[in-house]
Amino acid sequence: MRIMSLMYHDVRPKASESQTGADRVEDWYALTPDGFSSHLDAIATSPLTPSVVTDGGGPDRLFLTFDDGEISAIDTVAPMLERRGWRGHFFVVSSWIGKPGFLTDEDLRALVSRGHIVGGHGHMHPIMTELDEPAIRDEWRMSREILEEILGQAVTVASVPTGHYTAPIGRLAIEAGYRQLFTSEPWLKPRPLLSGTIYGRFMVRRGTTAESVAAFCSFSRPVLARQRLAWETRKVLKTTMGKHYEGFRRAVIARL
C-alpha cells in the first residue's frame, strides 16, 4: 500500500494577509485560492482520488491534510473540496479554537457533519521534542478531550505539530487514544504504531507548483526523492541545532 498524504496549511486571498499577524513563516505555508485551485485541478487529472483515512480503499490512496485550524478551512478549503466531491483532514490546535482567524466550535461541528475529518494537532502547538513525557502526554490528552467535548464523538486522528518527531511522541499519542497519526516526514507506506498506524506526509508550500503536486500524486520517483533529501537535510539540522533550529529556520524564510 502506498499513501500520498499532502500537507497543507492556510489558503487565503493574499499570502501576505496572515490570520495571526505579519509572519513570514506563515506566509511561506499559505496558498492563494487560485494557487490551491490549480493544485486541485492537477489532483483531478492524477490516478488518485482524495479520500479520508477512516474510509476503506485500494492499494494506492491520497489524503489531503490541513494543519492548525485556520478559518480558511471552513470558508475556502472545504467548499473547494466539496465541489469536487472530496473531503479533507483538518488538524486543529485546541487552544486556538475560537481565536480571531481560527475555527470556532460551530465550524468544527459543521466540518464533521459535511464528512470531513477533524483531528488533534496538540493543545498549544509546541515543539514536542522539547517537552518531557508527562507534558507530551498532556498535550495529546487535552487536545483530544477538548475536541471530543465540542464534537460529541471520538477523535482518533491527529498530526504532530511543528514536524519535530521522535518515537515516544508517537507512542504517547496512541496511548492517549489516537489511532491514526500523521507526521511531517515524507514516506509512502503506513507503519504500525502499537494499536494504531502512523503516516508520512509530503509538504506543500507557497511555492509548490501544480506540476509538483501532479508528480506527487503520480509517485514520481525523482520528485519524491528530492523531497526526501530535503527532509533528511532539515532533520540533521534539527538534531544538531536543537532548540536553535526554529530561529534559524525563521531567519532563512524571512530572507526568501
For 210-253, how does the pLDDT look when each residue is reduced to its tens digit (9 = 90+)? 999 999 999 999 999 998 898 788 777 767 877 666 676 556 65
Q: Write out the three cell numbers for 128.
A: 514536542
Regarding beta strands 89-92 and 2-8, do their DSSP bridges make them parallel or antiparallel, or are they unpaired?
unpaired
Q: What percent of the chain is predicted at pLDDT more than 70?
A: 89
For 140-171, how does the pLDDT look when each residue is reduced to its tens digit (9 = 90+)? 999 999 999 999 999 999 999 998 899 999 99
- Of 36, 43, 44, 38, give the one whose Cα is nearest residue 66: 36
* 185: pLDDT strictly greater than 80: yes
So what's the pLDDT on residue 246?
A: 67
- Of 18, 14, 34, 36, give the one whose Cα is nearest residue 26: 18
So what's the pLDDT on residue 256?
A: 54
Rounded to whole angstroms, how far apart are CA atoms 88 and 176? Answer: 23
Q: To 10 degrees, what angle do helices 133-151 and 167-175 make? A: 40
DSSP state of 21: S
For 127-136, how does the pLDDT look when each residue is reduced to its tens digit (9 = 90+)? 999 999 999 9
CA distances for 178 relative to 122, 135, 159, 195, angstroms: 12, 17, 10, 9
So what's the pLDDT on residue 254?
A: 55
So what's the pLDDT on residue 18?
A: 47
Domain boundaries, the chain: 2-254
* 77: pLDDT strictly greater than 90: yes
Regarding beta strands 196-199 and 191-193, do their DSSP bridges make them parallel or antiparallel, or are they unpaired?
antiparallel
So what's the pLDDT on residue 23?
A: 54
- Of 202, 213, 223, 253, give the one whose Cα is nearest residue 36: 213
CB atoms near residue 221 (< 10 Å): 9
* 52: pLDDT strictly greater than 90: yes
Fold of domain 2-254: TIM Barrel (3.20.20)
